[in-house]
Structure 1
Amino acid sequence: MTAGATTLAIIPHSRPYFGREEIEATTRVIQSRHVAQGIEVEQLENEWAAATGNRGSACVGSGLAALRLALHATGVKAGSEVIVPAYSCTALLNAVLALGAAPVLADVKVDRWTLDPESALRRRTPRTAAIIVVHLFGMPAEVAPLRAAGVPIIEDCAHGIGGSVAGTPFGALGGASIASFYATKMIAGGEGGVVASSDENLLKTVKNARNPADQKPSSIFLNDKLTDLEAAIIRVQLGRLRWTLSERAARAARYAELLTPLASRGLVILPAEQDGRIWYRYAVRLSAHPAANVARELYAIGVHADQPVWDLRQAVEWPREFRGSDVAFDRVLSLPLYPDLSPAEQQRVCEALTGVLR
């Protein structure tokens, strides 16, 4: 490096937003000396149910725990099959496998990246016990055709709430919904998850299973509780959800403006607009460049863009007809997006991407 040269800080792919309110909320819990599951968790459960249009919810220790327990409470067991999107987090498969059930992959639609209902329904068998649908990156999943088939729907809202499908809010479209509060999520508590439903028996089953104390030994009971410390942070973030969605949407609109020259040259396909969508990720499709190569080149010049879903093709027998998922794994690149992404940072991201794709 030459004398006087400066190195720009990496623009991270994800950056949780915390303010004075989170500090005050966690201080309140610490001063109370009750940091385990308690009143904060109970209040969060009530607030989450209201935000998602459900009668109740049950907080747990992670998004994976939420999905595993929601599937368990829905009746998934050893020998069952559960249909999952092939382009999705491996946590979905892990939750199914943890119950002794078999994940059955179905394709996603190009440029929506959500589960293709036709592909899913072709894979239904007498052993199908549930279908998991994900509002990937904030794009509303097509739930109606799946619900009409009569198979229990588990709605994965790990990429956020606040969106809707035909006027129904994310989180109220299936028999149960789950969400994650991991540090990179739209509502970030560090760790944590939640199951929401209007089925009181389902929620009772989840709440019973999250606490192994004073129960017969079982592989289901794995101490899946959320702490009041985490719940306090999550409650603050849930309270500012409308602001968070607005700030993310504003930055998504700016990306669309800044990246129009690349799109007009056919180098990128911008994320699809859709009624009811929210902006958890800003994921573009590259027309001619492998996403993995572009991500490496961007990181080398200070921008952490990412392939947002681990390539499952390395680990399972892959159906040749999964065109949508193949395209997604090869070409989808997620750009930094969060409420405090500055105009200068966003400009730098777009200039870097333009330089790499030139």
Structure 2
Amino acid sequence: MFVYFDVQHIYYLPQYIPVIEKLSNRGHQCALVFYRSQEKQFIDICETFAVEHSIKAIWLEDKSNTLDFYQGVECDWVVFGNAFLDVDKLNNKSVLMQHGIGPKSCYYDVSNTTTTVRFVEGEHRLKRLKNLYPNGNFVDSGYAKLDPIINNSVEKVDLAGLGLDKNKPTLLYAPTFYPSSIECMSDDFPECFPDYNIIIKPHFFSLSKPRYKKQKSKIMRWQKYNNVYLTNESEFNLTPFLAVADIMLSDASSAIFEFAALDKPVVWCDFYKLRWNYRGIFSYRFKARLDEDINYFHKICQRAEQFSDVVSAVQLCASESEEFRFNRKKIIEQLAGKIDGNCADRIVNYLESYE
């Protein structure tokens, strides 16, 4: 088989990588399709990634070229990490592997466009998608992004090499860009956790998009603390940091489900800096952006309604009951599917056997 992986954004790659590796190991050919309509530093990172992993890279100028390109090539499958509005015009079989499993409504909305198959995570999501789109083809494969952690093949993080103390527990703060908790966090946030290493892994947009410059300013302030490591742009893959961290702090992010799927404690920072057109009489826009799945956060996380609650929430993480952990595991099975390290195998098996 020949399979193209469409990479609109670099953060699609962690979901693709385990599947690409399985395909390659079985003798299939893969190619990555990148876009030059992004910041130069991300173009450089994508080029380096393709070279280091010996994967063919194809570059399009922007998304206006996507349809013409895929209509003009011969392949068995095209894999997308987000909705592609012209998917019904393709001559090739198509796959949707949504790049996140978070609580935003776009997780379900992207199936407005019908791919040949969409791989999903867990019975809960499978059932909802089938009800919403009865003509769609949905397969519960589990979340391939987590396979390397379960299989212990994920890149190892050397805490000492990051300037951190390997004898301290590690907090991972992994906020999304919108709606985000970053601007509501204290300027001296790292001072509240002197006995912890803190790894800050923000979304790319928080550091690269001008509209989020206030987020970047706060993040750069935190970086000055001795117990903090701020990931750089080339460290786009969250999974090595999920593996090394003991506790996660996050907000309306897919990362919460991902970390909880590893049976690790999470603090849900349920406080956000909202744009003026998402507040007051416009609050319906905020509610529309988030899906009802965010209600599961109450059952799998320690909730902080404001920054002043974060310290006590972290303390609660250290004393989670067996009952809480058991219930979290059952919920995660519904929301992330099987966490067995074989998700990519199930995906590749399906692609190989499809007729």
Q: TM-score, normalised by structure 1?
A: 0.29
Higher helix share: 2
Q: TM-score, normalised by structure 2?
A: 0.30
- Relative contact order higher in (CA < 8 Å, ≥ 6 apart): 1
